[in-house]
Amino acid sequence: MQAGTSSGFAFCLFSATFLFLLSISTYSLDLNKFINMSVDIRLAKSRVVGLDVYHGDDPGNIVTPGDIITADTGFMRGHGTYMSEDCLHSSVAGMVERVNKLVSVRPLKTRYNGEIGDVVIGRIIEVSQKKWRVETHSRMDSILMLSSVNLPGGELRRRSEEDEKMMRNYLKEGDLISAEVQNVMSDGCLSLHTRSLKYGKLGQGTLVKVSPSLVLRRKTHFHNLPVGASIILGNNGYIWICPTEHVEAGETGGYETNLQPVSRSEREAIARLRNCVLALADQNVLLFDTSILYTFEASQKYAVKDILKPEVILEVVDLVQQRLELEGS
Amino acid sequence: MADVDLSEPEKVYILHSVQENLREDGRGCEDFRHMEVETGLISNTNGSARVRLASTDVLVGIKVQLTPVDPKKPNVGRIEFFLDCSANATPAFEGRGGEGLASEITAMLTRSYSCFSAIDYTSLCLLPGQQCWLLYIDILLLECGGNLFDAVSIAVKAALFNLRIPNVTMTKDEGGIELDVSDDPFDFKRLDVSGAPVIVTVNKIGHQHVVDASEKEEACSLAKVMLGITEKGTVTAMKKEGSGSLDSESISEMIESAKNVGIELNKCLLNILKEEEAKIEEPVGFLR
């Protein structure tokens, strides 16, 4: 505890001088606000708003429920739309997307619609007979069957009654897991599996929840970022950020959790990543490894806790969007 | 409160991060998340305020009413708190689900405002022994993101600052005194809130304590102390909650940091409210 306080003090000194330099060189916010950050109250009236995409001159392809998308009958009805009086209407608020003749609306805010093969992060909420119930921000609770997990030690065998009794020892209520969607049942309930060493129980780290529509579908959703932390971008909008070496240890299926303290530098990287992900989500920017890394880099000139402030979020995300546009991705 | 279920390693992670004075979101132990305040946004109340603290969202409206005085305290006005937990915040509040939390918060508010220096209760009395103002303070909890007590108390103080009590003219006629409440919206008096307390909740996590805990941190904390703190640093109320025990040394440490934060909170809040008053703009409300 002694060491903790002294290092904390050193850090304060460091950040104070750092911010001092910053305030005279690059940024014109007053110094007091940064050093005495314990309390920060502001007015709703003075809130900075980003580019108003919804009320601008050109609303683009954003629709609200009931809006007419097209009166042309040559299109096919996709997700988030309905036919009424020979017009195609939107049933959700979101962006219109078109693939050839198929028109669909991708909602801005939604529950997770699972698809087979998706990587998800979920929390165990119930242990029942031969299966776990998992919360995955889906409309219904997902299910993880005892037969679709790798038992500790990577054993592959028939699940005996013993295993059934030991279920709570493997995964108990509150535990977080990463898994893959194995099947979507007829009622929309997802069945998950963790039969690969990269899936399984998660250890120390931070869970961030964002809208599922913000997570870009990619070939891989597990990233070891070169900033000292790993990130799992669940398709269900749950994002797991953890120290890198713990992921390697977790390759055994993650049943033995490492409860050793995480080093300060890793902790800082994780906290920064967390705030960066939230900043991107706040501005409705798609989340994938590049966008997150760029935000991480753009945020370097701010202290970690300052990335929670709206004006900093705007500035950082704006930089990232420009950079992404430049690179055409 | 909506219970967040955390796994063991997550709790350990939060515990260590508090120990390191570098919390999950990069804050130190005594840092508040940033907050947004707006007053006067509900036109059919005498005073209103909305506070957003991260994702905690609180709306407060105050209505005043003339009422006979309490015979035990003939010279003072009264205030009454009522809190409604909207089921929008969490499904657990549906039906009677939020009542326990509501009574806890209102009890704490009543306690911290029962101190006589909190607001000038005598100014709320119109005719000693007969008529006084009764302030109905209605609080609506719209979203929970941790640290409800503090957010609610800040919103209440902001609404009290915004409160416009109509002036009353008294005319004597045969039989008694007639009270006439002014209809003119610009004929009002204000309440002095410089002594009004805000609640600061200090959560004990491991060996350290934190202010403004997020929901996850609240789930890791075994004991917390809530204190009503005025601008001068006076403690008007104190309450301990949670199953964990605290030794006297850590309690005094927690009171000390609550005091520091509380003084700063009060100052900041009053400054920002005065700043808002100077501006004449359309209320922002919920449409942005």
Beta carbons of B26 and A303 less than 8 Å apart: yes
| pLDDT for the residue A8 | 44
Spatial separation of the C-alpha atoms in residues B199 and B228, rounded to whole Å = 4
The mean pLDDT of A163-172, rounded to a whole number, is: 88
Cα–Cα distances (Å) from A179 to A72, A127, A145, A192, B40, in that order, read 42, 16, 12, 6, 49
Spatial separation of the C-alpha atoms in residues A317 and A108, rounded to whole Å = 18
The mean pLDDT of B110-136, rounded to a whole number, is: 91
| pLDDT for the residue A189 | 93
Among chain A residues, CA nearest to B266 = A39
Residue A154 has φ and ψ, to the nearest 5°, of: 70, 25
pLDDT at A284 over 50: yes
CB atoms within 10 A of CB A59: 12
| pLDDT for the residue A255 | 65
Closest-CA distance, B133 to chain A, in angstroms, reads 30
For residues A240 and A176, is the Cβ–Cβ distance under 8 A?
yes
Residues 6+ apart with CB under 8 A from A258: A203, A204, A246, A249, B9
| pLDDT for the residue A55 | 46
Length of chain A counted residue by residue:
329
- What are the pLDDT digits (tens) for A232-252? 999 999 999 999 874 454 455
- What are the pLDDT digits (tens) for B224-245? 999 999 999 999 999 999 999 9
Closest-CA distance, B284 to chain A, in angstroms, reads 6
H or E stretch at B238 = strand B235-241
* DSSP calls for B154-207: HHHHHHHHH--EEPEEEEEETTEEEEEE---TT-EE----TT--EEEEEEEETT
| pLDDT for the residue B84 | 94
CA proximity to A275, closest of A256, A302, A251: A302
A118 or A27: which carries more pLDDT confidence? Answer: A118
- What are the pLDDT digits (tens) for B43-95? 899 999 999 998 899 999 999 999 999 899 899 999 999 999 999 888 888 88
Is A43 an interface residue toward B (CB < 8 Å)? yes
Spatial separation of the C-alpha atoms in residues B69 and B74, rounded to whole Å = 6
- What are the pLDDT digits (tens) for A189-234? 999 999 888 888 898 999 999 999 889 889 999 999 999 899 999 9
The mean pLDDT of B87-106, rounded to a whole number, is: 90
pLDDT at A138 over 90: yes
HSE value, Cβ hemisphere, 13 Å, CA-based, for A119:
21
Instruction: Kindly report which listed range (A38-52, A118-132, A156-170, B79-93) carries the lowest average pLDDT score.
Output: A38-52
Closest CB from B22, B284, B288 relative to A267: B22
The mean pLDDT of A72-98, rounded to a whole number, is: 89
Closest CB from B19, B28, B35 relative to A40: B35
pLDDT band at A44 (very low <50, low <70, confident <90, very high): confident
Closest CB from A39, A43, A271 relative to B25: A271
pLDDT at A4 over 60: no
Q: Which candidate in B7, B32, B36, B161 is best for mutational testing of the A interface (most A CBs within 10 A)?
A: B7
Compute the CA torsion angle A149, A154, A160, A161 (nearest 10 deg). -70
pLDDT at A45 over 60: yes
Spatial separation of the C-alpha atoms in residues B51 and B115, rounded to whole Å = 24
Closest CB from B9, B20, B154 relative to A267: B20
